[in-house]
Every structure is written in structure tokens, then in C-alpha cells.
Amino acid sequence: MKIKYLLIVLPVIGLWYTGETKKVYRTAEKAQDTWTVRYLAPDSEDDMRREYFREMLDIAMEETADDYGDYELIPADQQLSELEALRALQWEDDVIDVAFGMTETARERFVRPVRVPVLKGLLGTRMIMVRDDETDLLNEVSSIEDLRSYQVGQGEDWPDTRILNANGLDVHTSDGYNRLFEQLADGDFDLFPRGINEVWDELETFGNLGLALAEHVYIQYPTATYFFVAQGDRELANRIDEGLHRAIDNGRFDALFEEYYGDVVDRANLDEKQIIQIDNPYLPEDTPTDNPDYWHDIIED
């Protein structure tokens, strides 16, 4: 009888399973003519955050087609949250091949990261969404100590939640992406920090709930957003890594990044706002912070 072991990694990541590998992975000696790669589909019909990652993954696979073979990208059959996708990779449930999301030390113990920050660190620059009649709510705020007077909303399983908690903020959590915007509008919490790369689309989608951005302040912490694969899927990780680096070298990486996010910093008027920098105690030591090619120039040292 096979024995399965359960490991609880405190509140940092939730419940993880450690057991025997169930999936046979591609190897250099046993390459497939066509690679079928299942990726993380949108969280909801209103969620546009994942389309950029699909296109960047497509570029990485296309750049390596001559060396590794043809490919087909298909969305995973199951509707998965970011954490559910990572757990499926760790459990080797054979429902998804590639996930993406913010890295943290605990995640990198159980799934294999492709250490190219595909958002150039932008997700750690957080604009603060508020109710549209309270855009001046934070005009007197100038420090993390001041922010601790307010309750912030975040997803229950998001790494950001742990980062904000570690910095002493009062965090209200929800297990539903759309629900967080509704709860902010309903007054269930005061502030909803959102990545500078995602907040503009979200305001278009959810602005009719009576939401806007705080005028005076934004938060920044160091973070990296990666593609992740199962620990045993080394060949897929290598292919994505090689493809991303080729795309960086030939300009396709930056072209797609600019297409999606070229104007987000200008729209934010960061020079007119107070920056509150906070620590990220969960950033892995192997994060390539010393490579300037990987990071947007608004990322503070």
C-alpha cells in the first residue's frame, strides 16, 4: 500500500501533498513531435490578467520550436485559481502544465520556477483602490505606520496577503476575485492595493461599482512573477527559459510587454504620489535582482 504524506506549511501556502511522481515527463532523449501544453485559463469572464501570460508563453514556445518541436497551447479543462493551479502542479494531477504567479519561498520548494520575471517587477507596485467618494482618504498618509489605521482587502491565497500581514497591516481576505471589488464598494474594508499593471483594466471593469484610485500614495515591494511547472518537468522549464531569453535578446519580450503595459506607469503619475516601500520577507534568495534587464526602471533598489 502506498503511503501519502501531508505537509502543512504553516499559513504561508496552505496544504501541500508530497508523494510519488505520477506523470512521465518529456526528456531531451524522448522529445515529442508536438508538445501539448495546458495553461492557466482566466479566473472569470471579467478577468483579463492572464491573457498577457498566454501570449508570452506562446512566444517562448515559438522561439524554441526548431530545437524542441511543434507545440499546442490549450487552456486547462478545470477552472483553477492561481493557488489551485500550483497545487495541481505540485500534486502532479495531470490537469495543467504551466501556471504563473508571484513567487515566494514556499512555492519554490514544491514547483519549479522559470526565473525570468515576466512582469518586470510591476506587480509589486501597488496602486490603492478606494471608493470614489474617498479618493482623498490617504492624503495625510506618509508611512506604513499610517496605513496600519486602515483595513485592506486581498485574496485569501495571494502572496500579497502574507506580505501585507508581515508588514503589520490589517488584511481582510476573500476567496473570490470579483467579490473583492464588491466588498470594497460595500464598505467591508477600506483599501484594495492592486498591481499597477492590472488596475486600469480593473477600473474599466469594476469602476461602475463606484471605485477609483487614492490620489496621494502607492505601495511598492520587491517581487517577481514567473511561469511555474511541476518539479519533474525540467524539459518544459528549460524550453520556456530558453524561449524567454531569446525573446529578450530579439526584442519580442519587450514588444509584448510594451503592448500591454507601456502606458501604465505614465497613467499612474507616480511622481506626484508618496511612495511607501515595504519589505517582502518571502522573496526567495535566488530571485535575479542583480540583472537590470529583468526589471522595470520604476522598481526601487
pLDDT single digits (tens) 183-217: 999 999 999 999 999 999 999 999 999 999 999 99
**CATH level 2 (architecture), domain 11-17+28-120+225-262:** 3-Layer(aba) Sandwich (3.40)
Amino acid letter at 298?
Answer: I
The 10s digit of each residue's pLDDT in 66-105 is: 999 999 999 998 888 888 999 999 988 889 999 999 999 9
pTM: 0.86
The 10s digit of each residue's pLDDT in 166-192 is: 999 999 999 888 999 999 999 999 999
294: closest CA among 78, 145, 124? 124
> Rounded distance, CA 68 to CA 54, Å?
19
> What end-to-end distance do the CA atoms of the chain give, in Å?
52
Among 34-48, 117-131, 257-271, 276-290, the minimum mean pLDDT is found in 34-48
Name the class of domain 123-221+269-294. Answer: alpha beta
According to the model, what pLDDT value does residue 94 have?
86
According to the model, what pLDDT value does residue 175 have?
86
* pLDDT-based confidence at residue 157 (cuts at 50, 70, 90): confident
Start-end ranges of CATH 3.40.190.10 in the chain? 11-17+28-120+225-262, 123-221+269-294
The 10s digit of each residue's pLDDT in 227-248 is: 999 999 999 999 999 999 999 9
3-state secondary structure of 158: coil
H or E element at residue 39: strand 34-39
Amino acid letter at 172?
Answer: H
